[in-house]
Amino acid sequence: MKKKVLITGGAGYIGYHLVRQLLKRKDVYITVLDSFLYEDSSLNEFKKNKNLSIIKGDICNLYDMVKVVKNADIVIALAAIVGDPACALDEEQTYSSNYHSTALLVQLCNYYKVKRLIFASSCSVYGASDILLNEGSKLSPLSLYAKTRIMSEELIKKNVSQNLEWIILRFGTVFGWSKRMRFDLVVNFLTANSFFAKKIDILGGDQWRPLVHVSDVANALFLSIFADGNIVSREIFNVGDNKLNVQIKDIAEKISSKIKKVRINYKHIPFSDRRNYKVSFDKIRTLLKFEAKYSIERITSKEINAVINVLKSGWITTGHKNLEFAKEINKIVGSKYCVPLNSCTASIHLALIAAGVKENDEIITTPMTFVSTINSILYLKAKPIFVDIKENDFIMDEERVERFITKKTKAILTVHYGGFSANLDKLTQIAKKYKLELIEDAAHSFGSKYKKKFIGQDSKYCCFSFYPTKNITTGEGGAFVTNNNKIFKRVSRLGLHGISKDAWKRYSKVGSWKYDVKEIGFKYNMTDIQAAIGLAQLSRYNELKKHRKIIYGIYSDGLSKVKEVEIVKGNNYSDPFQHLFVIRIKSKVINRNVFIEKMKEKNIICSVHFIPVYRFSVYKKLLTTKVKDYPQTEKAFQECVSIPFSSSITKKEATTVIKEVNKIFS
């Protein structure tokens, strides 16, 4: 049975991205109600989809609303007059569209027994504040727009029936491209001004804004549709990312760094900006497992132009750009063969299959890793066997591996950590001795070296990640590299349904329409759009690596004298392309969790890499592991913190992090 989802305002700025994401599912039927006040072309690419109905109508009109609400299971209320300037043009119309329409919607949802109502609100309801605001903070509307959002929120909370689940999402300041574009939003406005006027005028600049990309907003709505009602019903969530609480001046600087010959004009203002505020997004991350994927500066004009060229070419799936990307990876790594894929998870899964892993086989690996490593083993109904880590680099202790080898052991799956390499000589020696396969999860280590050779250079099975936070990105993506032609051919086939030849070759002048499916495969291929982004990133490889080394050095120098902090320095056989900067908290007064909270109070968001996988509920049920068997892993978990570290962090930001760490322990 398909979920029937109604989206009011579904052809708008956010609606376009939400519709696109929902249509990827086969268990949803979408109805969009939109007035098409500006134009009606934003959803043209989806009009032929059988799971979508587009209706022109007015959210204030009873007849129009009855027609669409009566058959809905879930209603997403996006339609409204949005933003302070637009609302100020006609107060009466604003009250009608933003408040009275909500009253009508709630009444109809109750009457037609709609199961869930998701209401789009705004973080602007909080007003100005010097503290980090959360969902329980006092509301202080400073505009008509914010006032009508609060009025609608209160109306929903007081008037929905007992059986109707409601969720309120308060969006941060949205930015990014959409088919139905908005240029009244700060990032979009400043970017457009940079292109056309070659200048950015900034009043003040110290004001804070909680930014969130339009695609991430769509994802938050998507998660709200499918979330467990016991967890999310009658809850309010701020939508954004703590790392994207930024000052206006920093937005201007980041935009000007990407667009040539842009002048920033700072103008002092004697008054305080009424919309100066920072917001906490911990709740949505915890309950909805929401993670923002996009930031302002991660993608440059190189990546944008590369994608545009692919779109113009007419070939956007796996094709020539994939081949170019694979060739460039081989050139950097020194490997013979590369298969670009849609994730590192896919790469590990296919590596295990190619290695001959079967049901009940045992795979020796580390508990100090992301869950994708373990899930890939479990996909094949094999069993992960955990080996404790080393204290210096958080990597599986190679000296302990042999004692866990049994007749059922099929492979060793090592995980390179934070850019540091595992001891590949030792692991290769063990693998040969016991006739095991050695598979490398190198999600953290593209561009890193082991004993002067790139990770992947001499590998039989090596898996890379190009997720947005990794050393280079393709948006989402991964790659498998090998020096074995037979394995390369099999992984290539398995990555695209087991088909015997590349799809694009069938449409070339020398190609044939005939192909064969030699075994059951998967839909793990990388698109040419992703590959184009990757190629642009690889052209900046030296720049990105150099920048990370500089920031790593600043952190190392600045934190080495803090006695309560111990830097995880890795090992002497690695030459890392640093992915993380990890410290251990050694204070008897301030533990790791308290440290993270204190940093968060200063709007510095830290993380933990990783929560040992055996601590998660699902693995407690599936695996018979005991915490006491992994003392080094547990100690590392209790003490470790990953402080902000990426290709986009500035020297100034790194210095600020160091200052705040020193303050905490002073």
Beta bridge partners of 246: 209
Q: Which of 388, 341, 219 is nearest to 291 (CA)?
A: 219
Per DSSP (E only), the strands in 107-247 are 116-122, 132-133, 165-171, 173-175, 199-203, 208-213, 235-239, 245-247
- Non-local (6+) Cβ contacts of 222 within 8 A are 18, 21, 22
Runs of H (alpha helix) within 90-143:
91-95, 101-111
Q: What angle do CA 510, 511, 513 make, to 5 degrees?
A: 145
Distance of CA 497 to the CA centre of its chain: 26
Distances (CA, A) of 329 to 302, 503, 504, 542, 663: 18, 21, 21, 13, 43
Distances (CA, A) of 307 to 527, 534, 536, 612, 641: 11, 10, 9, 38, 36
Conformation bin of residue 426: beta by default, left when phi > 0, alpha when psi is -120 to 50? alpha
The four Cα atoms 34, 39, 45, 47 give a dihedral, to 10 degrees, of 40
Q: Which of 609, 608, 597, 610 is nearest to 660 (CA)?
A: 597
Q: What angle do CA 654, 658, 660 make, to 5 degrees?
A: 115
Could you tell me if 665 and 583 are in contact, meaning their C-beta atoms sit under 8 angstroms apart? no
Roughly what angle, to the nearest 10 degrees, separates helices 62-69 and 101-111?
40
Q: Tokens 């609400």 appear where?
A: 69
Q: Tokens 């954004």 appear where?
A: 240
Please, how many CA atoms are within 13 Å of residue 168, restricted to the half-sphere of its CB? 21
- The DSSP H or E segment spanning 12 is none
Q: Which of 425, 365, 373 is nearest to 395 (CA)?
A: 365
Alpha-carbon gap, residue 579 to 586, rounded angstroms = 23
The four Cα atoms 291, 293, 294, 298 give a dihedral, to 10 degrees, of 130
- Three-state SS for 159-186 is HCCCCCEEEEEEECEEECCCCCCCCCCH
Catalytic residue among 451, 470, 586, 635: 470
- Is 470 tagged catalytic? yes
Catalytic residue list = 470
